[in-house]
Structure 1
Amino acid sequence: MNQMLELRGRWTLITGASSGLGVEIARTIARDHGGHVLLVARRRDKLEALCEELRVRHGVQAACIAADLSRPEDVERIFTEATQARDIHAVILNAGVTYWGEAMKLGWSEFQAMLDTNVTSMVRLSSLFMPYLVERGTRGGLLLVSSVAGLIPVPYQAAYSGTKAFVTSYGQCLGQEVRHTGVSVTVFAPGGIATEMLDRTGLSNRFKAGDLGVMSPEACAAHAVRAFMRRKELYVPGLLNQTLALAAKVLPRGFMAQRTAAIYKPER
């Protein structure tokens, strides 16, 4: 599958688009590629402000759907609303939540919300949009945002690491199954990103942009869109993150878990 994914003048749906990486992916697509964007997140006010920014600055079409991906009824509604009024050409499933701390202290309701957001909604939206993209025959694409934490075990982010391992494996498998259709599946696995999610967990007090593979959301978005358009099957941005991914293939997983535990263990 050598033909580049064309975004100009076509609609790309982006989840998790009210902050961080999702915002910068939307800006990159509108500014650099002239693509229309359909933004999905919980905070309508932020979505509408970003839509206005993209319309005024870059002359593209932009619309939004306010939805909570931890709610099954919202996930179903996203597909219905997205496909009613426009032809979706590309889908970027970026929404995700994390937890930093001891796994046994993660509340059950918090874990369920993480599982619903990071895994269940991703599978459901993939199962809805993939047949839609295939039937249209326009050689569209699906991007799943995973993490380096899905390639190596990350103690003190145990649940998050597990959900991202699922995303990585699922995405690569799905990509092979639909390869003959002309629709590409890209798994994008960044390291840390200096976003609100890092702030909410407290990890921003320990890791800053440039530290331990932590990227700015602007730089990370540029990598994500480039990999998506080139239809990469699995892409890890940044030399340090790529080195970690390679180390995960050759070093014992127990050793990798010990080293990451030493780095991520919260101070008592």
Structure 2
Amino acid sequence: MAHPLIHLADAWIGRSARPEADALAAVAGLSPAVVVTGGSRGIGRAVAARFARLGRDVLLIAREPAPLEAAAAEIAREAGVRAVPLALDVTAADAVARLDAGLAEAKLYADVLVNNAGVGLAGPFADASPEAMERLIALNIAAASRLMHHALPPMLARGRGGILNVGSLGGLVPGPYQAAYYASKAYLVSLSEAVAHEVSGRGVRIAIVAPGPVNTRFHQSMHADRALYRAIVPALSADAAAASAVRGYMLGRRVIVPGVLATLGALAVKVLPHALTVPIVGALLGIGQNPGNPGRAKP
């Protein structure tokens, strides 16, 4: 990673930052950490490992303790940093309070928030169960927004920090047969870009990474592995997607699309009309779907 470019990005991002003494005093004696939701596997784990290789302590969040603890132990061993596991459902009413308590117990504070946890939903919109729809809204939209809204004010007060939201290339275009999932990622893209503009120059990075297909358990978990796009669109590894995400975040980019083909796809959906792109996406997503099956939390 080109350190001079990162230093330039730091200077530009913090050009109007005015750190508040009280905010700095509140974290005195604590270590800055990268908080990663959905951090036990897949993109989340890979992003945490990438930050750890940069010497950053990480706090990993997921619902299942065993894989979470294993991921934290491996990252700590490989990178020589602290990697703290916190078993937590981020959709729970007390999730923010429990996150704060977990950070305090570990003598950490959230310097970077990576909103990675998410759920997929494949099949016709009308066939989705109410429970699956509510779970998607709660995790992909409400929990991500709540964590971002909680973490951002202290970062602004300190004049440093950042939020990296993990979206999807699908957030750039409507997606028939994954309609609610694509719409939830469109929300996250819009939120990230808008907030990035609002806080411009105040020392806080706001970025969204929008990967295309990635080789994780995510597509299989929502029964979309037989869709046409899985057969014809090359998938990145989780580590390749994470490397692009962390590099773009450090360089101050606001929208990060990993991979050459995904970048070309992002350009195409920006310039082509929806009358053309929506049927194409529908054809790619609709074949072989098992309607109404919710995915699990994004790995």
TM-score for the superposition, normalised by structure 1: 0.91
- Whether contact under 8 Å (1:207, 1:214) holds in the other structure is no
Aligned equivalent of 2:272:
251
For residue 9 of structure 2, give the secondary structure of its aligned residue in structure 1: coil
Q: Distance in 2 between matches of 1:101 and 1:119?
A: 20
Unaligned runs of 5+ in 1: none
Name the aligned partner's letter for residue 104 of structure 1.
A
Aligned equivalent of 1:3:
10
Q: Deviation of residue 267 (structure 1)?
A: 3.1
Aligned equivalent of 2:43:
21
Q: Distance in 2 between matches of 1:207 and 1:140?
A: 40
Task: Compare relative contact order (CA 8 Å, sep 6+) and give the higher one, 1 or 2.
Answer: 2
Choose the corresponding residue for 1:199, options 220, 227, 230: 220
Aligned equivalent of 2:18:
none
Q: Deviation of residue 210 (structure 1)?
A: 9.0
Aligned equivalent of 1:89:
111
Larger Rg: 2
**What are the Cα deviations for residues 83-132 of structure 1, in whole angstroms up to 9, with x where unaligned?**
56213211111111001111111111111111110010111111110011
- Whether contact under 8 Å (1:75, 1:121) holds in the other structure is no
Q: Distance in 2 between matches of 1:199 and 1:210?
A: 13
Aligned equivalent of 1:102:
124
Choose the corresponding residue for 2:157, options 112, 116, 135: 135
- Runs of 4+ more than 4 Å apart: 206-211
TM-score for the superposition, normalised by structure 2: 0.82
Q: Distance in 2 between matches of 1:249 and 1:57?
A: 40
Count of residues in correspondence between the two structures? 263
Aligned equivalent of 2:143:
121
Choose the corresponding residue for 2:134, options 98, 103, 112: 112
Q: Distance in 1 between matches of 2:138 and 2:46?
A: 24
For residue 248 of structure 1, give the secondary structure of its aligned residue in structure 2: helix
70-79 vs 251-260, greater mean Cα deviation: 70-79
Name the aligned partner's letter for residue 111 of structure 2.
H
Q: Deviation of residue 19 (structure 1)?
A: 1.5
Aligned equivalent of 1:179:
200
Q: Deviation of residue 203 (structure 1)?
A: 2.4
Aligned equivalent of 2:17:
none
Name the aligned partner's letter for residue 50 of structure 1.
A
- Whether contact under 8 Å (1:36, 1:61) holds in the other structure is yes
Name the aligned partner's letter for residue 224 of structure 1.
A
Aligned identity (percent) is: 31
Aligned equivalent of 1:152:
173
Distance 1:75 1:10, change over 3 A: closer
- Whether contact under 8 Å (1:72, 1:121) holds in the other structure is no
